[in-house]
Amino acid sequence: MIPEAFTYERATTVAEALEHMGAGALPLAGGHSLLPALKLRLSAPEALVDIARIPELSGIRLDGGTLVIGACTRHNAIAASAEVAANAAVLAAAAGEIGDQQVRNRGTIGGSLAQADPHGDLPAVALALGAEIVVVNAGGTRTIAADDFFVDYFTTALEEGELITEIRIPGGQSQGAYAKFNRRSADWALMAAAVSKGSSGWRVALCGAGPTAVRAPGVEAALASGASPADAAAHASEGISPEADLGGSTEYKSHLATVMVKRALAAAGA
């Protein structure tokens, strides 16, 4: 199909991007989620603002004990980064499993989080890492905890005219893993579990378990009390009710949640 008509602006700085981010405008980074939506006319913005070439939005660095990743950093760069592997192991693992090589060469971490697909990999990873999403608007900058960022199906706490600039992750989370179940290679996850151990203990999150990525507090509490990974994983289905669809029933997906958490914890050496 052919998209609705729109104007195109290429920004070279964040300030320039914000000038174009008025009502009816959407940012364009990798485009792997946005362009299909445009072609299907599920999205019809008046303008696209290309932010992919803004230097300050890309890169990986350590700021004290915090891992900082620019919003337009590509999945492949994240998967190959020694800093990410040492400080956010679950992110390195998940980034290397997103789509295929072409998708990883173009897709960006900020775009994945802003898309908030309930079967997307990185929203669950952001929850497991206790990440913070830094956004900028015409009035300044604000920081949103990952726990507060994902609101509903394809809906986040981003307001109109805002851009994600960077993701900040508490460092030192070298113990973590990602376990994903999909029917074919490069498919979206039918169910996946992200686990990571930080200074406050284990954080566990799921994708495919509801309208947004969700934490698994029952698993976290069981691990904190000294339960074995297998016993803790048995709590994965608590509080979730995955939607039944062609991928399986609610009961089947709840069982998958338990299996994926068990596998992720085993891979992380819990």
- 119-133: pLDDT as tens digits: 999 999 999 999 999
| Coil vs helix vs strand at 49 | strand
Please give the mean pLDDT across all residues of the chain.
Answer: 94
CA distance 257 to 236: 6
- The residues pairing with 108 across neighbouring beta strands, listed in sequence order, are 74
- Give yes or no on whether 7-50 and 179-268 have one common fold: no
Handedness of CA 204, 205, 208, 214 (dihedral sign): positive
pLDDT tier at 258 (50, 70, 90 boundaries)?
very high
Q: What is the DSSP string of 191-228?
A: EEEEEEEETTEEEEEEESSSSS-EE-HHHHHHHHTT--
What are the start-end ranges of the H helices in the chain?
A: 14-20, 34-39, 75-80, 82-87, 89-95, 101-106, 109-115, 121-129, 146-149, 217-224, 229-233, 250-268
Tell me the pLDDT tens digit for each residue of 59-105.
999 999 999 999 999 999 999 999 999 999 999 999 999 988 888 99
* Predicted confidence (pLDDT) at residue 23 exceeds the cutoff of 80: no
Domain boundaries 179-268, CATH class = alpha beta
pLDDT, mean of residues 33-62? 90
Q: What is the mean pLDDT of residues 47-54?
A: 93
Q: pLDDT band at residue 193, thresholds of 50, 70 and 90? A: very high
CA 109 – CA 166 distance, rounded (Å)? 9
pLDDT of residue 93: 97
Please give the average per-residue pLDDT across 5-16, as a whole number: 93
Q: Report d(CA 211, CA 241) in Å as an integer.
A: 10
Chosen CATH of 7-50 out of 3.40.50.620, 3.40.50.1100, 3.10.580.10, 3.30.43.10? 3.30.43.10
Give me the pLDDT at residue 6, please: 86
Residue 35 confidence (pLDDT): 82
Does pLDDT of 42 surpass 90? Answer: no
**How far apart, in whole angstroms, are the C-alpha atoms of residue 78 and residue 101?**
13
Quote the pLDDT of residue 44.
87
At 104, which amino acid appears? R
Rounded Cα gap, residues 4 and 166, in angstroms: 30
Residue 235 is predicted with a pLDDT of: 97
pTM of the full structure: 0.95
Written as one letter, the residue type at 190 is L
Domain ranges of the chain: 7-50, 56-170, 179-268
Q: Quick check: 205 and 189 in contact, CB under 8 A?
A: no
Q: For the domain bounded by 56-170, which CATH number is listed? A: 3.30.465.10
d(CA 93, CA 108): 15
Mean pLDDT for the stretch of residues 5-34: 90
Alpha-carbon distance values, 263 to 31, 90, 195, 198, 270 (Å): 32, 13, 10, 19, 10
| pLDDT in the model for residue 79 | 97
- Give residue 85's pLDDT: 97
Q: Residue 90 and residue 54: Cα distance in Å, rounded? A: 27
pLDDT recorded at residue 4: 87
End-to-end CA, the chain: 48
Predicted confidence at residue 186, as pLDDT, reads: 72
| 147-189 confidence digits (pLDDT tens) | 999 999 999 999 999 999 999 999 999 999 999 999 877 778 9
